């Protein structure tokens, strides 16, 4: 008792600290739970997740959703069909890229000065900016098009109309961000280079003619009877992979009724009138169901269940909602936030107006072993056949391949096959590993190491190889170099850096609990 009394002042000070901190942080982060902020737990009242520890507010994410929608409509037209799945995907990717890019711009101190912005606006005013000036009645020539000359003269002479000031400020901020991003993009792309060795290798793989013998064994030709898989091996694979492959998300089972319009959407007036009428009927049924029960309301208004579905919180696809209804995160949130037997207000779907009823909530679980046993067996069978093929052919590297193929149907032998290093060879196809092994053959009689292809294992022996044509190489050199640089800048450089950085940032994604 004495010890408790002695320590009570410590407890009181801790309580006071958390009270003051919660008041302070509440003002800073819109009422966030201080415990969740300090200890890093989910705060889905205010945030959709975090990127490298930086929390993304719901307001910020909603703004990015609107940006994503505007980008699609500007590209595909005002009547474009836009799925919620795509909007969420585009918005989240944009937030990740924006974080990564801004972080790097700050790190490299890629400053954009006002004179750079002014010069860009002078020489290359964006099309949308031109249209905005035209709409305001400025810099329009006799045909109604943008008058670039008069616009440039106004900037040079300091005679831009005062009423364009706010418009210019908004666009200058956007251009500043664009130019800083461009500096970053250029800094990565200009680092792309190709070595003399890369140019020569590219020439050799597409211009040197080979004649080879090769023997191969196709993995799928190994009979199933040659592979024995025990029950313990199947169970071990299941246990090792259940989290990644066999996890079944939490689900909610719903049934629903739907009110469908019989009038074509082309008949806009009558269609809207009927839709309003159907919405009223659906509200009446919903109200009655919450007063009595869903079943009684169906009987009272002579409606029948359209279907029973199981939905998840996944942001991919339709989340279990029938595709003809379209995706609706409002339905998903009703299902997971509502209680058992709750009946929704009407939701407008692609094919009508629906009222949903919560039947059952299923916790996160795993697919039972019995359900996935056959698929596991196929996976292990494929892997063990590949191991068997590798083991069988490995001992015959220096044997008479023709004799081996004649005495064992599992082996195939191709004699005097002709092609480039990069060619597609019968039975073994083409692959980087095959090209690498063929490139290393210099003298007739040289044999490759064991070559693994997607479907087989092989050995190849060099019979003949043409010499390098120096004159032809010199002639093709500039084009090969240009193409390699172009390929690197397209697939590598900035894009490769951004892709790699995305894979390494730490992401917490709570959107499925909110939308």
Look over the chain and give the mean of its residue pLDDT values, rounded to a whole number.
Answer: 87
DSSP 146: B
Domain ranges across the chain: 1-40, 42-192+492-515, 209-239+371-465, 247-366
Q: Tell me, what's the pLDDT at 13?
A: 53
Among the listed residues 213, 229, 489, the one whose alpha carbon sits nearest the alpha carbon of residue 384: 229
Among residues 247, 342, 321, 333, the alpha carbon closest in space to that of 510 is found at 333
Report residue 510 as tokens.
Answer: 């709570």
pLDDT band at 81 (very low <50, low <70, confident <90, very high): confident
Q: How many residues make up the chain in this entry?
A: 515
Distance CA 89, CA 111 (A): 30
Conformational region of residue 139, where left means phi above 0, alpha means psi within -120 to 50, and beta covers everything else: left
Does position 362 have pLDDT exceeding 90, yes or no?
yes
Lowest mean pLDDT of 97-111, 205-219, 289-303, 325-339, name the range. Answer: 97-111
Name the β-bridge partners of 509.
49
Residue 193 has a pLDDT of 79
Give residue 279's pLDDT band: very low, low, confident or very high (50, 70, 90).
very high
β-strand partners of 365:
248
Name the architecture of domain 247-366: Roll (3.10)
The stretch 33-38 carries a mean pLDDT of: 44
Residue 258 and residue 324 in contact, taking contact as beta carbons nearer than 8 Å: no
What the block records as the tokens of 144 is: 């109604």
Domains 209-239+371-465 and 247-366 share a fold: yes
Which residues, 6+ apart, have CB-to-CB distance to 91 below 8 Å?
A: 61, 64, 65, 67, 68
Handedness of CA 229, 231, 237, 243 (dihedral sign): positive
Q: How far is 214 from 328, CA to CA, in rounded Å?
A: 57
Beta bridge partners of 348: 353
Pairing status of strand 456-465 against strand 411-420? unpaired
Query: Can you say how many angstroms the Cα of residue 31 is from the centroid of all Cα atoms in its chain?
Result: 32
Tokens of 379: 């996976």
With 0-12 CB in 10 A as exposed, 13-18 as middle and 19+ as buried, what is 16? exposed
What is the pLDDT, as a whole number, of residue 513? 87
Of 223, 146, 194, residue with least CA distance to 381: 223
Ranges of beta strands (E only) in 52-97 are: 54-57
Q: Tokens representing 156?
A: 């040079």
Residue 232, phi then psi, degrees to nearest 5: -65, -35
SS3 per residue for 71-98: HHHHHHCCCCCCCHHHHHHHHHHHHHHH
Closest residue by Cα to residue 356 from 342, 367, 370, 366: 342
Q: In what order do the strands lie in the sheet with 307-312?
A: 307-312, 251-259, 352-362, 347-349
Question: Would you state the pLDDT for residue 96?
Answer: 93
Which region among 33-42, 257-266, 309-318 has the lowest average model confidence (pLDDT)? 33-42
CATH topology for 42-192+492-515? Answer: Triger factor/SurA peptide-binding fold (1.10.4030)
Q: Among 246, 254, 435, which residue's Cα sits nearest to residue 349?
A: 254
In the block, tokens 């195939």 appear at: 412
- CATH (one of 3.40.50, 1.10.760, 3.10.50, 2.40.30) for 209-239+371-465: 3.10.50
- pLDDT band of residue 106 (cuts 50, 70, 90) is confident
pLDDT single digits (tens) 366-409: 999 999 999 999 999 999 999 999 999 999 999 999 999 999 99
* Phi, psi for 418 (deg, rounded to 5): -115, 145
pLDDT value at residue 25: 42
* First vs last C-alpha separation in the chain: 50
What secondary structure letter does DSSP report for 211?
A: E
Looking at 92-96, 187-191, 252-256, 442-446, which range is the least confident one?
A: 187-191
More confident residue, 7 or 60: 60
CA atoms of 101 and 181, how far apart (whole Å)? 7
pLDDT tens across 400-441, in order? Answer: 999 999 999 999 999 999 999 999 999 999 999 999 999 999
**Statement: the pTM of the whole predicted model exceeds 0.85:** no
What pLDDT score does 9 carry? Answer: 52
379 C-beta neighbours (distance < 10 Å), count: 15
Written as one string, the DSSP assignment of 406-462 is: HH-TTEEEEEEEEEETT--BTTTB--HHHHHHHHT--STT-B--PEE-SSEEEEEEE
Assess contact for 413 and 224: CB atoms under 8 A: no
- Residue 493 has what pLDDT? 73
Q: Please tell me the predicted confidence (pLDDT) of residue 27.
A: 40
Tokens representing residue 140 in the block: 């329009």
Q: What confidence tens digit (pLDDT) does each residue in 452-467 have?
A: 999 999 999 999 999 9
Classify 308 as helix, strand or coil.
Answer: strand
Name the pLDDT band for 41 (thresholds 50, 70, 90): low
If you average pLDDT over residues 34-54, what whole number do you get? 73
The residue among 478 and 73 whose pLDDT is bigger is: 478
Provide the pLDDT for residue 164: 87
């Amino acid at each position: 008792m004495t010890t408790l009394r002695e320590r009570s002042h410590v407890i009181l000070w801790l309580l006071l600290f958390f009270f003051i901190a919660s008041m302070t942080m509440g003002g800073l982060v819109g009422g966030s739970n201080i415990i969740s902020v300090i200890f890093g737990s989910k705060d889905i009242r205010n945030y959709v997740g975090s990127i490298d520890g930086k929390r993304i507010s719901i307001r910020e994410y909603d703004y990015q959703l609107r940006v994503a929608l505007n980008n699609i409509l500007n590209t595909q037209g005002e009547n474009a069909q836009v799925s919620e799945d795509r909007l969420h995907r585009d918005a989240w990717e944009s937030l990740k890229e924006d974080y990564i890019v801004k972080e790097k711009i700050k790190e490299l101190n890629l400053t954009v000065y006002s004179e750079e912005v002014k010069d860009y606006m002078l020489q290359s005013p964006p099309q949308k900016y031109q249209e905005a000036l035209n709409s305001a009645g400025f810099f329009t020539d006799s045909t109604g098009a943008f008058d670039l000359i008069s616009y440039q003269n106004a900037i040079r002479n300091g005679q831009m109309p005062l009423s364009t000031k706010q418009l210019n400020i908004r666009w200058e901020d956007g251009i500043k961000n664009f130019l800083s991003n461009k500096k970053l993009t250029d800094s990565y792309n200009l680092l792309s280079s190709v070595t003399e060795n890369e140019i020569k290798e590219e020439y050799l793989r597409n211009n040197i003619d080979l004649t080879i013998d090769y023997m191969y064994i196709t993995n799928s030709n190994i009979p199933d009877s040659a592979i024995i898989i025990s029950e313990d091996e199947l169970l071990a694979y299941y246990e090792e992979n259940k989290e990644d492959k066999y996890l079944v998300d939490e689900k909610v089972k719903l049934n629903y009724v739907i009110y469908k319009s019989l009038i074509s959407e082309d008949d806009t007036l009558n269609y809207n009138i009927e839709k309003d009428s159907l919405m009223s009927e659906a509200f009446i049924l919903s109200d009655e169901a919450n007063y009595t029960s869903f079943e009684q309301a169906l009987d009272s208004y002579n409606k029948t269940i359209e279907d029973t579905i199981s939905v998840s919180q996944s942001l991919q696809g339709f989340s279990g909602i029938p595709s003809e209804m379209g995706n609706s995160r409002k339905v998903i949130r009703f299902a997971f936030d509502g209680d058992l037997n709750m009946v929704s207000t009407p939701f407008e779907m692609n094919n009508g107006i629906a009222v949903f009823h919560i039947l059952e909530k299923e916790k996160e679980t795993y697919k039972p072993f019995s359900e996935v046993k056959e698929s596991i067996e196929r996976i292990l069978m494929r892997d063990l056949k590949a191991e068997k093929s590798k083991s069988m052919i490995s001992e015959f590297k220096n044997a008479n391949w023709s004799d081996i193929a004649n005495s064992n149907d599992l082996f195939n032998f191709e004699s005097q096959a002709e092609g480039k290093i990069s060619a597609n060879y019968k039975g073994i196809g083409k692959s980087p590993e095959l090209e690498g092994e063929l490139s290393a053959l210099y003298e007739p009689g040289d044999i490759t190491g064991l070559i693994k292809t997607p479907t087989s294992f092989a050995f190849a022996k060099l019979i003949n190889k043409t010499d390098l044509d120096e004159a032809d190489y010199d002639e093709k050199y500039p084009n090969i170099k240009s193409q390699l640089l172009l390929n690197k800048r397209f697939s590598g450089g900035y894009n490769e850096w951004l892709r790699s950085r995305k894979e390494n940032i730490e992401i917490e994604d709570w959107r499925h609990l909110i939308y």
